[in-house]
Amino acid sequence: MRNLIAGKIAVQRANLHSKIATVVAVAFLSGCYPAFLTSRPKARIIVTNESGAPLEGATVTLATMERRGVVGQNTFEKFSTDRNGMVKFGRQHDWVMQVLLPDGDTGYSWTLCVSKPGFEAIPLTSMKFDEPIKFAMYPGVMGSECEWHRHEYMPRVKEREARWIEVGGGEPQTHRTSPMFTDGSFHSAMEASARQQGIKLRSWSEYRFQYQARSTGIRDFRLFIHAICRAPADFDLSNSFYSEPDDRACYFDTTYTGQSYTDQPKPAFSPLQLPTVAKAE
């Protein structure tokens, strides 16, 4: 009896494998094949204020861009931070049918935004979901929010865009909002650099940032960033960089070096530097 049952199971398995092989063969011959894709990553997100205290009740929005060929559309999920300023969500998967044609595949990508009344909303587009994702929020207008325009991958925060000012004369930008998305990593890098040098930065909400793209070729992309906490109302910040004498880190400089190719070093900011010539340029 056992041999009979085992024989039937073996036949059923063989038939199943044969059917699967037939389906796969037909799919490939027809130019299609099924794929099991991650439609939502697993994440652990921590939200604090500038001093590092947890922020309860902050809204974390996960935007999932489902791209089919060259066209995509976002769907949104909202989460609220707990008393520890934390949000967790699990990984999800979906079966999709891929088409063996140029721009015929399906893919997923994600952006995050955190918002809370009284703070400036923070967008994030390049995340390592296998590590805790940290947001340090700083004071802002009450209604600061991320806005995703239809079919746009990157969210926008009007208040953040207003604080980033491109100075003429540099290389053209691939996307006019791209510097704003360095703000989070820029903030962390400058805080760390300031601590190493014994420099006390002001509240991040006090700064505006002049920037200019500079390069010497396709493999060399650099973004010069000049932070300012004040400037005369009649000074054109889009025309030239501005500084004045100050001993409390009202002005500082750094350079962001991008990664154009995978064989290059990872993107990084140079150490914070106080301007050596404190005058309008």
Please indicate, yes or no, whether residues 137 and 64 belong to a single structural domain of this protein: yes
Domain boundary among 114, 138, 156: 156
Residue 202 has pLDDT above 60, yes or no: yes
For the segment 77-82, the average pLDDT, to the nearest whole number, is 96
Written as six digits, the tokens of 181 are 């998305």
What CA–CA distance (Å, rounded) separates 264 from 259? 6
Helix (H) or strand (E) holding 115: strand 106-115
pLDDT digits (tens, 9 = 90+) for 125-142: 878 899 999 989 989 877
pLDDT of residue 12: 57
Place of tokens 């920037």: 211
Please indicate, yes or no, whether residues 120 and 174 belong to a single structural domain of this protein: no
HEC profile of 34-87: EEEEEEECCEEEEEEECCCCECCCCEEEEEEEEEECCEEEEEEEEEECCCCCEE
Please indicate, yes or no, whether residues 24 and 42 belong to a single structural domain of this protein: no
In CATH, what number is assigned to the domain containing residue 47? Answer: 2.60.40.1120
What predicted TM-score, i.e. pTM, was given to this entire model?
Answer: 0.73
Domain boundary among 128, 156, 184: 156
| pLDDT band at residue 254 using 50, 70 and 90 as cut-offs | very high
> What percent of the chain has pLDDT above 90?
42
Please indicate, yes or no, whether residues 161 and 277 belong to a single structural domain of this protein: yes
pLDDT of residue 279: 46
Please indicate, yes or no, whether residues 170 and 143 belong to a single structural domain of this protein: no
pLDDT digits (tens, 9 = 90+) for 34-63: 888 899 999 999 999 988 999 999 999 999
What CA–CA distance (Å, rounded) separates 207 from 250? 8
Please indicate, yes or no, whether residues 142 and 182 belong to a single structural domain of this protein: no
Please indicate, yes or no, whether residues 129 and 108 belong to a single structural domain of this protein: yes
pLDDT of residue 159: 87
Name the phi and psi angles at 121, rounded to 5.
Answer: -65, 145
Look up the domain containing 223 and give its range.
Answer: 157-281
Q: Are 212 and 166 within 8 A, CB to CB?
A: yes
Does residue 129 come out as left (phi exceeding 0), alpha (psi in the -120 to 50 range) or beta?
A: alpha
Domain boundary among 136, 156, 176: 156
Please indicate, yes or no, whether residues 173 and 281 belong to a single structural domain of this protein: yes
Overall domain count for the chain = 3
